[in-house]
Amino acid sequence: MQKPDGAGSAPALPEDGVLAEREFCPPPEAGFSLERITYWSQGLKVRGFLLRPLQPSPAPGLVYCRGGIRRVGMVSMARILPLARRGFAVLAPFYRGNEGGEGREDFAGDDRHDVYAAVRLMLRLPEVSGPKVPLIGFSRGAIMALLAAAECEGAGPVVAWGGVSDLRLTYEERVDLRRMLRRVVGHPRKQPEEYIRRSPALWAERIASPVLILHGTGDSQVGVEHARRLARALEAAGRPYAMELYDGMGHVYTEQALEAAVAWIRRHSSG
């Protein structure tokens, strides 16, 4: 007996960037809305914060890509509230496997799709305006943001802030991270392709959006050579970029760099 069309087949997975749940939380201050959202990414429910000003409405969207992995470097209000105060609706993914989300974070591997889905979600939300969604990537979040600029339609200008641009260099510089990198990414000699895929300085010609590089010369966690390598690669590829190096600044979030990031995003989102 012939089965009817579709009988016995697995149900279709929800499309990436579709909202699954919204939980309103007490805002950090008056005049803002804070939600803990759940959205779909590769068939997984992934969580993040959506923080937006009540005015303007709709507000221009922005995706903030945090650094670290798992509990290290988790999203904080100290990072996203200053952006919302400047008029942005900020979506900050926790990445898969964190804060009750499904799946497992893998340091700019498949979890990069959580950022792509966040961009698609922002383009769907009625509270968010703009044909493109800019991204700020801090530390390893810069890899996520730059991957979005290379692979995700709708990604706008990118700010790489204290960002990793060559993961093999991180392996060499950060002895304390080698065990984690071998476990999550692989060994750079045995899995070189995984390190290349996570190294924007090695495929800068694919980056379709303007890039602002912000880095402190005193950064001991992500050395300033990452910024210089990314700048040289973008220059060689003929891609639009600018770089600001801050003398003696470490791996920190500063007002000066924040103002530079916001000005860059506004300038490159208006045209």
Identified catalytic residue from 41, 139, 199, 209: 139
Q: Tell me the whole-structure pTM to 2 decimals.
A: 0.95
Give the phi and the psi of residue 105 in degrees, each rounded to 5. Answer: -65, 140
Q: Mind listing the domains of the chain with CATH numbers?
A: 21-270 (3.40.50.1820)
Identified catalytic residue from 33, 129, 187, 251: 251
Please give the sequence-ordered ranges of beta strands (E in DSSP) within the chain, or none if there are none.
19-25, 32-41, 44-53, 59-65, 89-93, 128-129, 133-138, 155-161, 211-216, 241-246
Enter the tokens of residue 249.
């600044």
Average pLDDT over residues 100-126: 98
Average pLDDT over residues 23-36: 98
How far apart, in Å, do the first and last CA atoms of the chain sit?
Answer: 60
**pLDDT tens digits for 205-225?**
999 999 999 999 999 999 999
Candidates 26, 24, 16, 178; CA nearest to 111 is: 16
Average pLDDT over residues 46-57: 97
Q: Give the pLDDT of residue 271.
A: 55
CA-to-CA distance for 198 and 236, rounded, in angstroms?
19
Residue 11 scores a pLDDT above 90 = no
Three-state DSSP string of 30-71: CCEEEEEEEEEECCEEEEEEEEEECCCCCEEEEEEECCCECC
Say if residue 179 is exposed, middle or buried (CB neighbours under 10 Å; 0-12, 13-18, 19+): exposed
Q: Is 251 a catalytic residue?
A: yes
Q: Is 41 a catalytic residue?
A: no
